Amino acid sequence: MRLFLDTSVLLAAAGSVQGASRYLITAAATHGWELVSADYCAAEVRRNLAKLAPAAAIAWQRRIRPRMRFARTRLTLDRPLVFPKAKDRPILITALATRADVLLTLDVGDFQAKLGREIYGLRIATPGEFLLEQRARGIL
């Protein structure tokens, strides 16, 4: 299963060792989850790491970034897309272009509230929602 992680999930994973975001990254190989993000998200993480505790930069470099695949950010889509958040549009388009199964985000207000739980077959969930789904299916 291919999981696309947006910036909010990557920063949460770097900033907290106990959250669902970090668990996704550390358990991905065990569960066969491919972790993908956009180079745009990686740049946002680098710009925002200084706002977190110093350990976050170390976690990003040693524990998170090496387990990720970063796709080139896409800005266009071959289908109609009405999505008012200009800064989040590249994330959504890149997630669709990578053929991710799920877009994981903590930015519920900008994604789920405006798009719902799915767009063009791409599910949208928080890390916690995704993990609860996996547990309900007996995967965790």
pLDDT, averaged in runs of 10, over the chain (140 residues): 96 93 94 95 94 92 95 69 64 90 85 60 91 88
Q: Residue 51 is part of a domain; what is its CATH number?
A: 3.40.50.1010
pLDDT at 89: 75
> Domain span at residue 21?
2-136
| pTM metric for this prediction | 0.87
- Work out how many domains the chain is built from and give that number: 1
> If DSSP codes are grouped into helix, strand and coil, which group holds residue 133?
helix
Are 104 and 129 spatial neighbours (Cβ–Cβ below 8 Å)? no
